[in-house]
Amino acid sequence: MAANHARSWENSYTSYRPQVEKRVVVRKAGWITKGEKILYSVVAVCILVALWYIVSFSSSLDTLNRNIQSVEQKITNQQVVNEGLGFEIKELSRPERIIQYAKEHGLTIQAAEVKQANSYNH
């Protein structure tokens, strides 16, 4: 009977006891953890640096190619000028022209045969 009495007392005590509301703070889990944020940030910075390097390298390569094309154009132009001057040298060094020029300036030719002189570079 004492047990019954204790149970009834416990039931009556809990029914009169004020209910204490327990507040449970629920932390909302983030979508991305701090470690992942740091990792993603480092990867993003590495990608940006790589992209900057690629653009910089491409720009310097383009500049170099433009300079090479400019130099090649100048070389081609100079070769054309040199060929023209070589043709002019051959034209001006013809023996007939030299003989005519000598006669115009009052020089006489003593030998009957005129040979073309060749220049030798040492």
Report field, pTM of the whole predicted structure over 0.85: no
pLDDT in tens, 21-73: 778 777 777 788 889 999 999 999 999 999 999 999 999 999 999 999 999 99
**Domain regions of the chain by residue span:** 30-104
**Would you say residue 9 has pLDDT above 70?**
no
Helix, strand, coil proportions of the chain in percent (round to 5)? 70, 0, 30
pLDDT in tens, 74-106: 999 999 999 999 999 999 888 888 888 888 888
- CA atoms of 25 and 22, how far apart (whole Å): 10
